[in-house]
Structure 1
């Protein structure tokens, strides 16, 4: 009993200590910030060496040569690189702290029909994981619910805030559907295969029934004929009026095309998450103007007969097929590897500019954030200053991160422990 008590006390202590980090969120920008003589990786207008950038009132106010501003904080960035803040898609940041401690995991709820659930309601801006992620230049994250079926809605947040209200960044409504999969193991006989196929088809029928009910509800809402409000279908109205997007988590070609058929039937804006086989369905996806959040950049091949580098070259295949895509990293703390995942695409067919765009501007477009992901006048003043290539984890050396013109504290638990054990 004593050992059990000690173990419980240790776990509870670890949980309590992991609930909040020590870094204080930055105050709103109060005076102009002028970055001088930097190499700007604008994403929209190429790389501009020896160029100045002015941040004012949380926005990029000017870009050019020999800029000046009254009462500005001047940063000499000679020899430095400036990038837009990175946008991490398909993360569970702020929803899970310690994966093996259930009380710190708010990634999913029970049931398969929860479109009304919002990930932002469970987001913890004090998570110890957040500072370790933004130290790699990640300024924004799409916080995504997990689970089966209609899992809920994701929220786009900035990674330096006191509360969820401070964190939320304006974006499209994002409803997430986890597509069913065919069993891979234990299905050998013809009878087992027939049963598995029948079960899969029944799940698709159930999904179609959900969307049919939601579509009828949307028609009734448009005609102002709703007598008994249903929070589930109310949450899906944006899908039918064009202001929201349906994010379907699917990898296999059959699943992607089955999901596309549902989206086409109800004229929904479709984003495929995962998307391992998305390039194989280019005609179907391009016809619908669908996008892909590819999340397998550092994975092994899905099939035993595929080459070892198959997962690595899929972004280049998506590019060749003309499918709009972004690179995502489906994790919590591990989402800090997003720049590394993007860098891997350069070795397998994309240019450096295309790789950077896949984790900045293209990622922002997919979630409907029109003012993120580029260095351009009017865009958010969210920038990264580094001494090297941000896609190179060994030599990137990020020196500063600004979110909406606010300088973010890059200290974090990993850095503290590193310095602690240097003195041992």
Structure 2
């Protein structure tokens, strides 16, 4: 091929690759009239379960809840025998940042370095990701798209999963800064190797403390000198030090959580522990700081060889018992669609069904500072899931409709398309 032919070929190839990572479902348009959902079993999360209840949706909000509601201009949908839930909220995901995990060019989850608080997941979020419709099909309407990395990895964003652009997708929430605490050093048979691992851990922790000390001093200098030369890293942390953001520390083991809590206490930073396998052991420390936990191990094996085989399943119940606010998360991309299954697992190990549902709806919204989301109440966002059965039971649940801000979303996805394709083989 000559140079013109090669250029045309590469352009076409690039276009095809781009199309391969964009789904075919068109984001739902804003309804022209109100929507009246009739005769459903409504799981409000905050006010119990209401049988034979109507919901009036207008301008993206829940306008009214009750029996025998009427609105002459509304589109009426009969949901007799169906269940209506708040849209599920998936925390600590990489949705929109990852497409194919084994293809590096489709992964925008991290950057080099361990001091990147200025990096925004929103800048890399792809609202056309093929993964989003597959996750929506399990009742998830919103997700926290979270950067990965070492140390200060950046800021996450709360998004709805049906939008044309990141601006359309972004849901108002508090600023969310993510700090990945280094893993505790292992003990090896070789004492010298153990010593080096311990030293590496201490150096990593020291570097984190240096970053926060530099950021704190920067905030003081900016306050006193408005013409101070800007450092984009520490400038990005201003909302956190002013109490307008939260520090999400990814840590599981007790020592790591204690050290993270000490750092938060030193600078009076609002704290959320992500992972939190040992968080229940530190109730006094975390409750003193009014910290919360995003627990992400509901379907995991135990962290320690001498833990009971069901230890990971019991921890949400233990967090509830010691009074630590928590939500249930699923730290993945496409696999985050298993969020309702993870919540269901906790019902057999200490939580009630209502508490498990609350942990993936209202509690999740509260932890990220999203108001008017995660429950079915008047004036709340009309982000709802209609299911034929119990949404926490994968054997009987069948998601029949999904509403985001009052817009009924297309539940088609690549999985369903492939299923239909091979039915015709």
TM-score by length of 1: 0.95
**2:133 aligned partner:** 131
**1:218 aligned partner:** 219
> Does the aligned pair in 1 maintain the 2:179–2:249 contact within 8 Å?
yes
Aligned counterparts, 1:265-304, within 5 A: 265-304=266-305
The answer to whether structure 1 residue 81 and structure 2 residue 76 are counterparts is no
**2:195 aligned partner:** 194
> Does the aligned pair in 2 maintain the 1:220–1:226 contact within 8 Å?
no
**1:209 aligned partner:** 210
> Does the aligned pair in 2 maintain the 1:54–1:62 contact within 8 Å?
yes
- Deviation of 1:82 (Å): 0.3
**1:317 aligned partner:** 318
Q: Return closer, same or farther for 1:295/1:12 CA change in 2, 3 Å cut-off.
A: farther
Aligned counterparts, 1:254-273, within 5 A: 254-273=255-274
**2:178 aligned partner:** 176
Distance in structure 2 (CA, Å) of the matches to 1:50 and 1:221: 58
> Does the aligned pair in 2 maintain the 1:18–1:97 contact within 8 Å?
no
The answer to whether structure 1 residue 55 and structure 2 residue 57 are counterparts is yes
Distance in structure 1 (CA, Å) of the matches to 2:218 and 2:380: 37
- Deviation of 1:111 (Å): 0.7
- Deviation of 1:188 (Å): 2.7
**2:39 aligned partner:** 37
**2:92 aligned partner:** 90
- Deviation of 1:321 (Å): 1.0
The answer to whether structure 1 residue 417 and structure 2 residue 418 are counterparts is yes
Distance in structure 2 (CA, Å) of the matches to 1:249 and 1:410: 33
SS at match of 2:99: coil
- Deviation of 1:68 (Å): 1.1
Cα deviation, 1:201-236, whole Å, max 9, x if unaligned, reads 222221111111111222233335341011111110
**1:159 aligned partner:** 161
**1:366 aligned partner:** 367
**1:378 aligned partner:** 379
The answer to whether structure 1 residue 142 and structure 2 residue 144 are counterparts is yes
Distance in structure 2 (CA, Å) of the matches to 1:331 and 1:409: 23
Distance in structure 2 (CA, Å) of the matches to 1:157 and 1:403: 11
Distance in structure 1 (CA, Å) of the matches to 2:115 and 2:20: 31
Distance in structure 2 (CA, Å) of the matches to 1:206 and 1:367: 27
- Deviation of 1:246 (Å): 0.2
Runs of 4+ in 1 over 6 A off after TM superposition: 11-14
> Does the aligned pair in 1 maintain the 2:186–2:194 contact within 8 Å?
no
Distance in structure 2 (CA, Å) of the matches to 1:350 and 1:414: 32
> Does the aligned pair in 1 maintain the 2:62–2:382 contact within 8 Å?
yes
Cα deviation, 1:340-360, whole Å, max 9, x if unaligned, reads 000000011100000000000
> Does the aligned pair in 2 maintain the 1:29–1:404 contact within 8 Å?
no
Distance in structure 2 (CA, Å) of the matches to 1:417 and 1:277: 42
- Deviation of 1:51 (Å): 0.8
Distance in structure 2 (CA, Å) of the matches to 1:307 and 1:276: 13
Aligned length: 415
Distance in structure 2 (CA, Å) of the matches to 1:224 and 1:293: 38
> Does the aligned pair in 2 maintain the 1:18–1:127 contact within 8 Å?
no
Structure 2 stretches of 5 or more lacking a match?
1-9
Distance in structure 1 (CA, Å) of the matches to 2:224 and 2:62: 43
Distance in structure 1 (CA, Å) of the matches to 2:205 and 2:42: 48
Distance in structure 2 (CA, Å) of the matches to 1:256 and 1:157: 28
TM-score by length of 2: 0.95
Cα deviation, 1:291-316, whole Å, max 9, x if unaligned, reads 00001111111111111111111100
**1:112 aligned partner:** 114
SS at match of 1:60: strand
Structure 1 stretches of 5 or more lacking a match?
1-7
Query: What RMSD over aligned residues (CA atoms) do the two structures have, in Å?
Result: 1.7
SS at match of 1:399: strand
Cα deviation, 1:28-82, whole Å, max 9, x if unaligned, reads 2321111111111000101011111111100011111111123101111111100
